[in-house]
Amino acid sequence: MNANASHDTIRAVQWHGDRLALLDQRRLPGEEIWFDCRTADEVTDAIRVLAVRGAPAIGIAAAWGVVLAAKSGVPLEPILATLRAARPTAVNLMWALDRMRSRIDAGADADALEREAQAIQDEDLAANRLMGELGAALIEPGSHVLTHCNTGSLATAGYGTALGVIRAGVEAGRITQVYAGETRPWLQGARLTMWELVRDGIPAKLVADSAASHLMKHGEVKWVIVGADRIAANGDTANKIGTYQLAIAARHHGVKFMVVAPSTTVDMATANGDDIEIELREATELLSIGGKRTVIDGADAWNPVFDVTPADLIDAIVTERGVILRPDESQMQAVFG
């Protein structure tokens, strides 16, 4: 691994006092294009089109959207509502907006809201580093692991959740090979996770989503390590589409399954995974690749972009508050109740 790992330099969401600079994740890995959001509505649009994506990152971006609105003096109630509706599954978005609202209700001015948004961002980075250590400690030296989607610096304030565990595990010699699933249809794994891992000099191989079970069958991986968008009160976990089938295959093949997410991803107000809204995105995202249509005209598609892994298929949930092994409602209540 490159001693000057670049993960410390990837900050996909950057506040500049009167604008929010975003690294456009639709353009990676071919182009590193930045653009500025100067209004809350521009932040909402950026979240909607996945220019910024990843559960923690969209919560952080939304918090800065509130600051942009407060500085411009527009009424904040409609701004909070519009930001909240940008995407439905990742609870970090609602958590961040609720935290900003509580400061607004307490009379915070624009400067105080700016400090709050900065705190949200800084706390996320600190949580990722702690989770990296906690999760890596579970992994026996010399392990190969499989990850899904992108849960790295691009999806957070930096370092990453599942990818943070992988970074810490590689640094500690506990992980010697990473397999990254391509993550159809938006290709977060192929386009974003491989970009982060190659930049860090971490040994990584891309695998087709459909190759994951075959990989596990041949004993190539010890852990599947993924992020989360919403963890319900019983430990059921919503994450990128394809996660559920990875968990089924992992259990079948005796591979351990780790979910890594900050406490801002835990939603104790949602009883179980059946109650988590799964975002359905446009069929066109499935009917084309890189803007080129790959399916006959007239064809339609069903494009859910998250699924729910039941708690009984999860071996460990790693948060900055600690590790929950074989999560269930009572353990979740003990830590997050």
Ligand X SMILES: CSC[C@H]1O[C@H](OP(=O)(O)O)[C@H](O)[C@@H]1O
Query: Whose structure tokens read 């968008």?
Result: 229
Residues lying near ligand X in the complex (CB under 6 A) are found at: 53-56, 149, 151, 155-156, 161, 188, 226-227, 229, 239-240, 305
Q: Do residues 258 and 226 make contact, with C-beta atoms less than 8 angstroms apart?
A: yes
Residue 199 marked as a ligand binder: no
Query: Is 233 annotated for ligand binding?
Result: no
DSSP 186-203: TTHIIIIIHHHHHHHT--
Query: Which position has the token pair 């330099």?
Result: 9
Which of 74, 278 has the CB closer to ligand X?
Answer: 278
With respect to ligand X, which residue has the nearer C-beta, 59 or 114?
59
Which has the closest alpha carbon to 8: 260, 228, 180, 199?
199
Q: Which of 229, 236, 267, 315 is catalytic?
A: 229
Helix runs in 9-54, H state only: 40-48
54 is in an annotated binding site: yes
240 marked as part of a ligand binding site: yes
**Cβ atoms of residues 161 and 155 within 8 Å:** yes
The reply to whether 53 sits in an annotated binding site is yes
Phi-psi label, residue 290: left if phi above 0, alpha if psi -120 to 50, beta otherwise: left
Min dist. Cβ of residue 213 to ligand X (A):
19
65 vs 227 by CB, closer to ligand X: 227
Q: Which residues contact 111 (CB under 8 A, 6 or more apart)?
A: none
251: annotated binding-site residue?
Answer: no
Closest separation in Å from C-beta 48 to ligand X: 11
Least distance from C-beta 47 to ligand X, angstroms?
9
Dihedral of CA atoms 190, 192, 197, 201 in degrees, nearest 10, equals: 100
In the numeric block, the tokens 């906690």 are attached to 134
Q: Which is nearer to ligand X, 114 or 242 (CB)?
A: 242
275 is catalytic: no
Nearest CA to 131 among 159, 171, 108?
A: 159
Q: What is the nearest approach in angstroms of ligand X to the Cβ of residue 129?
A: 14
Instruction: In angstroms, give the least distance from the CB of 282 to ligand X.
Output: 13
Closest CB to ligand X among 226 and 266? 226
Q: Which residues make up each annotated binding site?
A: 53-55, 87, 188, 239-240
Q: Which residues make up each annotated binding site for substrate?
A: 53-55, 87, 188, 239-240
Q: Give me the active site residues, please.
A: 229
